[in-house]
Structure 1
Amino acid sequence: MVEIRKIAENDIKVLQEIGKQTFFETFTSENSEENMIEYLENEFSTEKLRSELRNKSSLFYFAESDGKVVGYLKINLGDAQTEINDINSLEIERIYVLKEFFRKGVGQKLLDMAIKKTKELKKDYVWLGVWEHNTRAIRFYEKNGFFAFDKHIFRLGEDEQTDIMMRFNPVHKL
């Protein structure tokens, strides 16, 4: 059974480990070692994660199975959003699951939490960026009612990659 819990600042080391591992598992086969190392060192540094965890406009959640962290979610509100900065929206910046837990409902539970928060906070829509070559994730989001509405550039080290921006408009009824 998968449980979702809010991440606290004292969870920073576990967040750092799961963040690096899931990103590496997801993208290492399509990217250079140099770009991966640079990205992982910068984006998952203790200082950066501590700052993000302290930001009241960002929320982090762990997915746990039998007491083991198997995935995580980061959502952003208002000016914490990476691109749109619409006060009427919520951004899913990160939703990652350990490879061994793919197709076990973990990603769905994390996505459901993001949609639940979107409704609770009475936001008009939830949006995210997903790498154009991550067809597994794109299909997952489409299956859940997300649709593409734009594109943006995501920098991974020295590499500029194209992300498809997708959104979902939930009904505010809980």
Structure 2
Amino acid sequence: MKVRELRRDDVRPLVEDLWLPFAREMESVAPRNRLAEDVDLVAAGINYREDRLDDPDAATWVAVDDGELVGHAAASVESSAPVFAAGDRLHLGELYVCEPYRGEGVADELLDRVVAAAAERECDRVTLNVDRGNDRAHAFYEKSGFEPRRTRMALSLSNR
């Protein structure tokens, strides 16, 4: 298995085989992750991913086993306001591994690549969000050295 940066010819397989299954799993974790019903999910996903390929502050890595995409991680640089002493951070927005490859170290390799990219970009830290109830993700990130630093709170306006 090899981890490498996403290439343009990977975009459709990424969207179809990894990103949409990831999104569907996240939908079951939290209702706010519900997928849109009025868009072509594949076409919208391809457009989104191609735009990210052109964004110098965004990066996506894929885990490839025997030519098949089996996992991915996507992150973006987030800058701190200039009044703070804190430097930039690389925010990990997505980390997903296909079910048959879970527990095989693929997520560790993807996360290692994200951490290396943060260092290459001279970021101070790597950040991420994990939904409540996603116990497996919480355990993985804590085992990898992440610590809770903040609590993100949300108010749903659709229920008001």
Q: What range describes the TM-score normalised by the shorter chain of this pair?
A: 0.7 to 0.9
User: Do structure 1's residue 12 and structure 2's residue 11 form an aligned pair?
Assistant: yes
- The verdict on how the C-alpha distance between 1:113 and 1:43 changes in structure 2, with shifts beyond 3 A counting, is farther
Contact persistence 1:52–1:58 (CA under 8 A): yes
Gapped runs of 5+ residues in structure 1?
Answer: 80-85, 160-174
Contact persistence 2:11–2:49 (CA under 8 A): yes
Contact persistence 2:77–2:89 (CA under 8 A): yes
Contact persistence 1:22–1:99 (CA under 8 A): no
Q: What does residue 51 of structure 1 align with?
A: 51
* CA-CA distance at 1:43 after TM superposition: 10
Q: What does residue 83 of structure 2 align with?
A: none
Contact persistence 2:3–2:109 (CA under 8 A): yes
- Provide the C-alpha distance between the structure 1 equivalents of 2:100 and 2:72, rounded to a whole number of angstroms: 14
Gapped runs of 5+ residues in structure 2?
Answer: 80-85
TM-score normalised by the chain length of structure 2 = 0.79
Q: Any residues of structure 2 matched to 1:160-171 within 5 Å, and which? A: none
Aligned residue pairs: how many? 149
Which of 1 and 2 has greater Rg?
2
- The verdict on how the C-alpha distance between 1:36 and 1:10 changes in structure 2, with shifts beyond 3 A counting, is same
- Provide the C-alpha distance between the structure 2 equivalents of 1:61 and 1:146, rounded to a whole number of angstroms: 20
- Provide the C-alpha distance between the structure 1 equivalents of 2:21 and 2:100, rounded to a whole number of angstroms: 12
Contact persistence 2:23–2:33 (CA under 8 A): no
Q: What does residue 131 of structure 1 align with?
A: 131
Contact persistence 1:16–1:44 (CA under 8 A): no
Structure in which a larger fraction of residues adopt strand: 1
Deviations for 1:67-123, whole angstroms, at most 9, x for unmatched residues?
Answer: 2110001110136xxxxxx75211111111111211011101101111111222222
Letter in 2 for 1:146: F
* CA-CA distance at 1:7 after TM superposition: 0.6
Q: CA RMSD in A?
A: 3.0
> In structure 2, the residue corresponding to 1:152 is in which secondary structure?
coil
Contact persistence 1:23–1:96 (CA under 8 A): no
TM-score normalised by the chain length of structure 1 = 0.73
Q: Which moved more, 1:41-50 or 1:128-137?
A: 41-50
Q: Any residues of structure 2 matched to 1:123-162 within 5 Å, and which? A: 123-152=123-152
Letter in 2 for 1:27: M
Q: What does residue 34 of structure 2 align with?
A: 36
Letter in 2 for 1:133: G
- The verdict on how the C-alpha distance between 1:129 and 1:30 changes in structure 2, with shifts beyond 3 A counting, is closer
* CA-CA distance at 1:60 after TM superposition: 0.8
- Percent of residue pairs bearing the same amino acid type: 23
